[in-house]
Structures are given as C-alpha cells and as structure tokens.
Structure 1
Amino acid sequence: MREKRDLLTIGHTALDYIIQVNEFPLPNSSTAIKNMRTFHGGAAANVAVVASSLGLKSSLVSAVGGDFPGSDYQKDLENKKIDIQDMIVVKEDKTPTAFVLTDNNHDQIFYFYWGAATRFKESEVPYDAIKNVQAVHLATGDPSFNWKCGKFARKEGKIISFDPGQDLHMYSPNDLLEVLKISDILFGNHHEIERILKTMKMNVDELRNFGPSIVVKTRGKEGSTIYSGKTINVDALERETVDPTGAGDSYRAGFLKTYLGGESLEYCGKLASAVSSFVVEAEGCQTNVPSLEMVHQRMSNNK
C-alpha cells in the first residue's frame, strides 16, 4: 500500500540554464553573457522540492526524457523523499530544458524546450497518485493533461491549486475556463492574473464566484495580494536578490504548506513571502531552499 502524501505537483521537471546579462539584445544583435550555470528546475519540481523541505510529504508527476533515470536530478529528488514513481519517462527524448535570461533590472526572458513534455497529451492520468494525496497543484505543463488530472482530482474531492505560469499562452479561452472552473486556488504574477482576467472578461470577484475562491497575485518586491472576498495585501520580505528565478514557485509551496495546515490566508502569504526570500538569495530555483525552522526564524527576526 502506498504511503499517504500531502501534495502532488503536476507539470514540468526541467534543467535550467540560468544566464545573466547586462541587458537584453535587440533583434539581429547580440549581448555578452556575464554568467551561465545549470541547475535543477521546472515549476512542478520546484514546488515539490520546496514543499518537501517545509515538511509536506510531496509527490511529483512530470514527463522526463531517457536522460533522467539514474541522473543526479533523479537521485536528488529521491534523497528529498519526493515520490516520483509515477513520472512519465520518454526514453527517446530529452528532459525539458529552460534557458532563463535575467538582466540587471531582474527582468527575465524564458526559452523553453519541451522535449519529453510533448507527450503529456497522450499520457494517462496518474489516478493512484491523485487518490493518495490531500491536494493537487497544477503547474506549468500541457493544458489538456492538467485539465484531465484536475477533473479527476475534483471528482476525488481534492484541493486543487492552479498556476499556468509561463505556459499561460498555451491555454485557449476554453482551456482556461475549464481548468479555472475546477480550481480552488489560482496563483499568478500580476502580469498573468491580469491576462487571465482579460481573457475571461471578468474582474477578480466574478472570477472567484466562477471558479477559484482564492486568487493569489504576486508582485515581486511589491509583495503579494490575496483575494478571498476581502483583499489582503502582504509585504515582500526583501533580501538582496541574486536571481529571482523560482521565487514564485517557492511562494506557492510556502502558501500551500500553511494553507493545508489550516492557517489564515494572511499568514499563508507572510510565510510564503519569507520562503521566497531565501530562494532569491542564490542562483537556481532549488539552491537555497530553507527548512520551516529557518523560515520561522526569519519571520521572527523581521517583525
């Protein structure tokens, strides 16, 4: 019998090339790369790793390539006690790869090679993994696969959070409508939330009445806003930013950790902000992941 888990994240596991530049080049020109390193990433994997470090029993379902079995990444996830037995392995393809360019203003441009993740569409819903958890987080990934998984999770009475992230452009208005309809929590940065509202032709209250009762909008250094019938503004816990990549994913993990623990939404936002403050202090999404004790200490020091 499988061990009961707290959170299943569905979506990308990827290799991240984090590239630092002074400024983005114009078309038909070039710019010098200041620094480039490779890290473990992918939005779903990032959430699973941070959630695990915070004490949630996490599971992960991603489509990965033939280069994943036996890799350092697989070993690292297993060492972190993340259940990856339902991973979709496409032997003839590569694990998804992200090229993340960050300029001196901490603005970012993403290039993403889907590789094995193109097989999400034809993959079977991980029924046993969904049955085995309290909550399902739908991260970046294929819209149709996310909807199929979310639909089954809703039938099973699971808490569902949804974060289309940089893959929002892949959702048709109908795709978006169907996934939002079955979601309890919607996460997005301010650009993504505004785009969703525009696509749905709704304001935040109309969106909440239609689908997710909680809408969480992150705004970088300006903090975050939680809409839940009332509007809760949470300040960012500011630290010197080395690399903003993964800050949003770590925020989601922190929020879900406290939400599943029955905490107030304001506290969920505050702890989530504290979690993300660690991740931005180092390059890579999974490099400077804190324990729950470390997060509580930082929150206490910043009262």
Structure 2
Amino acid sequence: MRIATVGDNCIDYYQNLDQGFPGGNPVNVAVYLKRLGVSSSYVGVIGNDRYGKILKEALASKGVDLTHLYEKEGKTAVTQVELVDGERVFGDYDEGVLKDFKLTEEDLEFLASHDLVVSGIWGKVEDRMVDLKSRGCRIAFDFATKLEDPVKEVAIPHVDYAFFAADEDTPELRNFMEIEQRKGPKMVIVTLGEQGSIAYDGQFHRFGIVPCEVVDSMGAGDSYIAGFLKALLEGQTIEECMKKGAENSSVTLGYTGAW
C-alpha cells in the first residue's frame, strides 16, 4: 500500500509557546500514515530558509518519501496559532513559496504510481485533479470547514472520498452531503469534533469518538483521514474505517502540535 499526499505545508507557530511545529494538511496525513505503517510520499515546495530545513528534516526523520519535495528561494509558509483551552485558533497565514506551487508532468506520473492520492483545499492542486483522475488515480480531498469554497466546485467532480468538517449533525448538513456526493465522490465524510463523524455513500453511517484527554486539537482531523483511508484500502467496512479514524485521532489529541 502506497499513498501520496500533495499540496500545502507550513510551520504552525504557537505564539503562546514561542515554538513552531511542522504541519499542513497533506504533510500531516503523510506522517500519520507512516505512524500507521503505511508507505507515504509528500509532494510540495518549501523555502530555502530555516523553517524549510526544519520541515524537511522532520519529514525525513519520519520516513516519508521526499523525492518530489522541492526547495525554492524564499520563505516557507507559516501559520500563526494560539491554543485556547486545547482548541487551536488560527491567526495570520504567510503562504511563502507555496503561492506559486504547480505540479509538473513528472509529479503527476509519480502521484499516479500510488494507490491513492490525498490533497486539500489549500494545496493549490485542485486544477490538476482532472489530470490525476485521467491517469486512473483514486483521490481523497480534505475540504475542511470550507463547505462553499470555490475550490470545492473545481475539485469535487474528480474526488473519490471527500472530507469536510462541521460542528454538528443537522438536517442541513445531511442534505449538503447528499448533494455533494451526487457531484462525483463515492463517499462524503464529515468529522464533527466531539460528536464523532458521519459518512454518506448513498446511505448515512455514524460513529462516535474514542475518549481521550485533549491537549491540542491540531492535526486531529488529518489523523482521522489517515486512519480512515488506511482501513478503506484494506477493504474494511465504512463503520470500521470511521472507528480507525477516531482511534488515530485520539492519539494526536493527546500532545501539543500536529506531530
């Protein structure tokens, strides 16, 4: 099993701790997959600054394939974060060299050599989803809380597994999931924080949480995605996939930073 992640990376800088941690949705998913014993690759770009070096060395130490990680003159992306009662509150975001990130034909072929490709709404690759799909790729995409972002309309027709995040299970949310699933995905999955998660593949599935002490919620959703996708590729049931996602998320909730 080989899974590739592609798109954004950043340093999550915690102002109240005066400390930075490597992060970014695709980066986090790649690391969490390795934690689960899955071979993972990351495709993206970093700056040639101190933060870029930190991020590259951290990913290499986790065993993520970085053969398509590029370094360019400029700054690595930084997200300002505050911790408030264990919940992350995002501040300013400096995109750095990611602003001009574009996939090459070689990158597309590399991604297509994997069993699954994972990206997200800030990854700047939504326009290439059609190219990946034409190469036979299975695609998972994290739209986070951006239920109405223009990126969604570009990407979702080519996505197999669409992940979102919301506060609670409502009739409006279920209607949204049904509408989005009809646009192309095999399945739409929504994480609901303390309320667990819900999935729709023509019928609805619910799963709760794995109780744990919450230290920092950073990376919890990405952990869920990694656990869910590993179980999915193993052929497990949707309920079991949701359970594995929750279990992996509970590990990440227990420490500060994404990983």
Fold agreement, TM-score > 0.5 = yes
| Bigger shift: residues 45-54 or 81-90 | 81-90
The number of residues matched between the two structures is 257
Task: Give the Cα separation in 2 of the matches to 1:82 and 1:252.
Answer: 17
The answer for the alignment partner of 2:247 in structure 1 is: 274
Q: Which structure is larger by alpha-carbon Rg, 1 or 2?
A: 1
| Bigger shift: residues 245-254 or 94-103 | 94-103
Task: Give the Cα separation in 1 of the matches to 2:95 and 2:65.
Answer: 22
Residue 37 of structure 1 and its aligned partner are, at CA, apart by 2.5
The answer for the alignment partner of 2:117 in structure 1 is: 136
1:147 aligns with 2:123: no
Task: Give the Cα separation in 2 of the matches to 1:156 and 1:129.
Answer: 11
Deviations 1:172-195 (A, max 9, x none): 2xx42221000011111116999x
Distance 1:88 1:146, change over 3 A: farther
For the 8 Å contact 1:9–1:61, the answer to whether it is kept is yes
1:215 aligns with 2:188: yes
Aligned partner of 2:166 among 143, 168, 190: 190
For the 8 Å contact 2:187–2:201, the answer to whether it is kept is yes
Deviations 1:65-103 (A, max 9, x none): 012698243223223221111123222x11111112232
Long gaps (5+) in structure 1: 20-32, 287-303
Task: Give the Cα separation in 2 of the matches to 1:235 and 1:190.
Answer: 14
Distance 1:77 1:56, change over 3 A: same
Equivalences for 1:86-165 in 2 at 5 Å?
A: 86-91=68-73, 93-104=74-85, 106=87, 108-120=89-101, 122-125=102-105, 126-143=107-124, 145-148=125-128, 150-165=129-144
What RMSD, in angstroms, separates the aligned Cα atoms of the two structures? 2.7
Long gaps (5+) in structure 2: none
For the 8 Å contact 1:138–1:164, the answer to whether it is kept is no
1:47 aligns with 2:29: yes
The answer for the alignment partner of 2:215 in structure 1 is: 242
Task: Give the Cα separation in 1 of the matches to 2:158 and 2:83.
Answer: 34
Task: Give the Cα separation in 2 of the matches to 1:69 and 1:273.
Answer: 30
1:65 aligns with 2:47: yes
The answer for the alignment partner of 1:232 in structure 2 is: 205
Moved over 3 A (4+): 168-171, 191-194
Deviations 1:24-57 (A, max 9, x none): xxxxxxxxx4x34221111111000000111111
Distance 1:70 1:114, change over 3 A: closer
| Bigger shift: residues 100-109 or 208-217 | 100-109
The answer for the alignment partner of 1:18 in structure 2 is: 14
For the 8 Å contact 2:52–2:76, the answer to whether it is kept is no
TM-score of the aligned structures, taking structure 2 as reference length:
0.89
